[in-house]
Chains A and B, each alone.
Chain A
Amino acid sequence: MNKLIKSITLSMVLAISLTAALAGCGTKNETDTGSDISGSVTAVGSSALQPLAEKAAQMFMDKNKDANIQVQGGGSGTGLKQVSEGGADIGNSDVYAAEKLPEDKAKALVDHKVCVVGFATVVNPKIKVDNLTKQQLIDIFSGKITNWKDVGGDDMKVVIINRPSSSGTRATFKKYALDGAEEAEGKALTEDQSGTVKKAVAETDGAISYLALSYIDKSVKTLKYEGVEATVENITSGKYPIWSYEHMYTKGKPTGAVKAFIDYMTSSDFTSSISEMGYIPNSDMKISRDK
Chain B
Amino acid sequence: MKVWLVIFGVGVVSLLLRASSLVLLRGRTLPPGLLASLGLVPAAVLSALVVPELLVHGGDFRPLGPRLVAGIAAALIAWKTRNVLWTLLGGLGLLFGFGALGWH
B is a partner of A: no
Listed in ascending order, the chain B residues whose CB lies under 8 Å from chain A are: none
Listed in ascending order, the chain A residues whose CB lies under 8 Å from chain B are: none
